[in-house]
Amino acid sequence: MSAYEAILVFVVSAPGLVFGIFGLLWLLGWVPVERVLSAVTAGTYSVCTVALVVILWGLGASGSSSVVVTFGNWFAVHDYHFPLVLMVDRVSLPFLVMTVILSGLIGRFSATYLHRERGFLRFFLLLHLFAFGSVLAFAAGSLDLLVGGWEIVGITSVLLIGFFQQRPSPVENGLRVFAVYRACDIGLTVAVFAMHHWTGTALFADGLPKLAGTRPAIACLLLLLAAAGKAAQVPFSGWLPRAMEGPTPSSAIFYGAISIHAGAYLLLRVQPMLTASRLASIAVVFIGFITAIYGTITGRASADAKTSLAYASLTQVGIVFVEIGIGWKSIAIAHILGHATVRTLQFLRAPSMLHDYHTIHSAAGGDLSPTGKHLEDLFPERLQLWIYRWALDRGHLDTIIDRWLIQPLMNLSRLLARLDGLGLQQVSTRRQAPAVSMRSIAGQGGK
Amino acid sequence: MTGHAFIFRVLVIGVPWLAAIPAAFTRKHSRVIGFIASSVSVVLSAVLLRYAASSTSLDEALMLLFSCLTLGAILVLPRRDCTSGTIAGILFLLGSTLLAYSAEHLAVLLIAWILTTVPFFAKVFAARTWRPRIGLMISSIALAGATGLIAANGYHLSIDSLKGESPGGMAVFLLLLLAVVFRKGICPAHAWVADAADGGHVIPTALLLNGHLGALLVAKLIVPLFPHTAHDLFPMLSYLALTTALYIAIRSLTENSPRRLLAFVGLSQSACILAGLESETAEGITGALLHWVVVTISTMGLFGILRLLEVRFGENLTAGKHFGLAEHAPRLAVFFAVFGLALVGLPGTLSFCSQDLLIHGTLASHPQTGLLLPIAIAMNAVSVFRLFTRLFLGKRRTGFTIMADALPRERWILTAGVLLVVLGGLFPNAFVAVQSAQAEIIDQANDTPPRRYLTADPDFPSLSPPRLRTMSGIRSGFDGAASGN
């Protein structure tokens, strides 16, 4: 193993090790003090950042395009194998650098922001787990391994949405987000299966395997389902404002920077396949375009800072999708990096937004002209009102999903429960709980 | 079987049975007796597995797994439940299940099958409703009927001598399937499982369910004895298993009783085991055997934690409202989350590997219906997470006076379980290699050349020798579907 390969392995495993060690020690009864946790976090991500800079320098100096570490198969059965390959190249390196730098910054910010908060340790454990999942997903050399990181990012995202667990609303919204993630991840699972089935591998470290006929379209559309779910693209955008229930630092890193762009990364990773399918490319552009429009309109009707920022993120990610669909890979990467940086800053400043506004207001001499109304003024007043109502209900997306998907599923479930109870006077003599309401899965609604 | 192995097997089975007698009469030391007896079973099963021939190592692996599970159950059993009757019943169940795993004779298997159900007809473990008793009884009667028919047709009842013989024809095959359907709780015979978990003694019931004797019957009896019939009719059972997985997953979405919910999720996940065993692909069978391990450990952990919560916070827990128990019992919350997510395929746990293999195998075998599997798993994940959020998150309840988190005894055994599923997930090769070897055995059983057909009709459709289909072998079928041909 060369020095660069060893460094890559270190970068991927370091956050996971920190999570594993602190988590296990806590399970066995030891609770680290805040200072230790903060120092370890700062140290870990500082070293990881330096390590990635070394890799970047090495790639530049050697002129090679990637560093690939092959560990063989994680497990293998007959002709099916799960390859354990890590890779850093020009697509993944910016994402890796962004992840470790922002994780370190968020760790530093949170050490102050969550000082003496009861969930301090929990937050940092989940932050490390999230960083591990993200780094694993971005450094994966195969779709199989990417799925692992992808799922870890999803579960930490959900657990952080429910961080303020004393209130039922964040918990219910976390459940809703979890349901959306799991539903959309079916696309990723089936796509990976299809890749294995058609080509015998889901590796992309040596370039994606060539698919012919309708296969690229099928694979890309399945991946698009997963990407759209993770990136909150239409019609799955309803979960994004719900996710704002989490603490601000986690909102910043998840929905301003990394998690929200994971879907775009997935599409960038399979872009050669996307280019081979016009149908899939059009679908990506279409979804991105619709989401951008949806995000900008809905964001204008949002009353709180974090939700407005979330919709602003959605708009930008929609545009990134359009860029990927068109084939502007480099522009999409640059867009993602710029957007993630700015949005993280905005999210972190969101609790001080009023203070910032007053500062700017004073600096402008007390005269700040409202901006951003030029778009609305283009429409007739009746249409403006209709659009406003539409935007207030967030495009009715959740209503449609609830009415046409969740409610029928719940009704079917209740019907099956009644069938199960046939022949019994009482299904349970001990516990008679009321049937769960729509809100159990549908959540409590956003803010 | 060598003489030493036979003696070890007798000891593995006999020690828990013998220990059940003093345990039944000694309340004060019943947990100690149970601990010692199950530890002896663990050690002896490990020795047996270490020296087992590859052709029988499925039995030994299952014996070791179930012994460990029982040891864990005895340790995690709350003091309130730790009566002499409970420990004796658990030890009796352990001995009977180990006998079923190691049976090489149909009559012995039948006796063991029936013996495992006996404690659940007695007062100590019995559920309040009639369905569990009927379900277990029908499965026993079906197996007894099949054994009787085989004997009536003049066959010797040794399982080895019956391999590939299709003894007794279609009638026996269908009776065995009936036994599997009722014992596993395959739709429409699924309701008894939830009733048993809800109204009975939860930890022993979880042990009964995690014996997975229905799946054992498929792997040990149906596939080797009826390779051709199995090949032709397995798709039907596979569809039934997949339908069960989905049906139960949908059913559990509105279930509010934690015990029933866990029983449903466990049932849905264990139906995936059957679907994998019947997929006739190496990946599917290996995934199924691996999933067997995961489902067993995870559901046992979940039921154990649930019982600990019931003992601490009362038995009126429901998934209909938030209890905020994580404030009182944060470690139990973490254990529950890890076991729950491990059950539904969290990356980094063994179930991620098992479900990866299962989904690949099942989709390869049944491209259309195989899609039900990831959908069912996703729904199960939502149900488990819903239960977690309702029990552990939300507003803290103030009605509890004494709230103990996991006691050291519970903490260590639950940590061991978590480490097993996590380390198994991080380094799955050891597990996969063992299960892959077992899959080979089932594969060989499936490849047994026909010696006798089920019917007198020479044109019976299973004349061509069935083979375990590998990914490449079945690729053409899926290709046609995918490319729209």
Q: What is the pLDDT of residues B103-120, one digit of tens each?
A: 989 999 999 999 999 988
Please provide residue A330's backbone torsions phi and psi, each rounded to the nearest 5 degrees. Answer: -65, -40
Average pLDDT for chain B: 84
Q: Tell me which residues of chain A, numbers 7 to 26, contact chain B at a CB-CB cutoff of 8 Å.
A: 23-24
- A75:B260 CB<8 A: no
| pLDDT band at B475; cut points 50, 70, 90 | very low
Cβ neighbours, 10 Å, residue A67: 22
Note the pLDDT tens digit of each residue in A78-103.
778 888 899 999 999 999 999 999 99
Position A369 scores a pLDDT of 72
Note the pLDDT tens digit of each residue in A258-279.
999 999 999 999 999 999 999 9
- Using a pLDDT cut of 70, give the percent of chain A over it: 94
Mean pLDDT of B140-168: 90
Judging contacts by C-beta atoms under 8 Å, the chain B residues touching residue A165 are 324, 326, 392-394
Task: Report ipTM (2 d.p.).
Answer: 0.89
- B256:A433 CB<8 A: yes
Position A237 scores a pLDDT of 94
Note the pLDDT tens digit of each residue in A319-377.
999 999 999 999 999 999 999 999 999 999 998 888 888 888 888 888 777 666 677 77
- A433:B319 CB<8 A: yes
Average pLDDT for chain A: 89
Judging contacts by C-beta atoms under 8 Å, the chain A residues touching residue B393 are 162, 165, 171
Position B464 scores a pLDDT of 35
pLDDT of B460 over the 70 cut? no
Fill in the amino acid letter for B250.
I
| pLDDT band at B371; cut points 50, 70, 90 | confident
- B282:A434 CB<8 A: no
In contact, B391 and B305? CB cutoff 8 Å: no
- A431:B385 CB<8 A: no
Query: What sign does the CA torsion over B50, B56, B57, B62 have?
Result: negative
Is A172's Cβ below 8 Å from some Cβ in B?
Answer: yes
Q: Give the residue on A whose Cα is nearest the Cα of B382.
A: A179
In contact, A160 and A254? CB cutoff 8 Å: yes
Token output for B143: 């197996």
- B286:A77 CB<8 A: yes
Q: Tell me which residues of chain B, numbers 269 to 288, contact chain A at a CB-CB cutoff of 8 Å.
A: 282-283, 286-287
Cα B113 from Cα B141, distance rounded (Å): 10
Mean pLDDT of A179-185: 95
Residues in CB range of B464: below 8 A, 6 or more apart:
none
Q: Give the residue on A whose Cα is nearest the Cα of B390.
A: A171
- A27:B411 CB<8 A: yes
Q: Tell me which residues of chain B, numbers 364 to 383, contact chain A at a CB-CB cutoff of 8 Å.
A: 364, 371, 374-375, 378, 381-382
Mean pLDDT of A218-247: 94
Nearest Cα to A347, choosing from A255, A262, A263? A255
Q: Give the residue on A whose Cα is nearest the Cα of B283.
A: A77
3-state secondary structure of B134: helix
Is B230's Cβ below 8 Å from some Cβ in A?
Answer: no
Mean pLDDT of A182-187: 94
Helical ranges in B218-277 per DSSP H: 223-225, 227-252, 258-277
Mean pLDDT of B250-274: 93
Judging contacts by C-beta atoms under 8 Å, the chain A residues touching residue B347 are 133, 147-149, 151-152
Position B113 scores a pLDDT of 96
Position A437 scores a pLDDT of 42
- Using a pLDDT cut of 70, give the percent of chain B over it: 88
pLDDT of B20 over the 80 cut? yes
A191/B229: higher pLDDT: A191
Judging contacts by C-beta atoms under 8 Å, the chain B residues touching residue A142 are none
Token output for A245: 């229930």
pLDDT of B469 over the 60 cut? no
Nearest Cα to A213, choosing from A193, A231, A199, A202? A199
3-state secondary structure of A72: strand
- A80:B360 CB<8 A: yes
| pLDDT band at A425; cut points 50, 70, 90 | low
Torsion of CA B49, B50, B56, B59, to 10 degrees: 10
B471/B338: higher pLDDT: B338
Judging contacts by C-beta atoms under 8 Å, the chain A residues touching residue B257 are 428, 431, 433
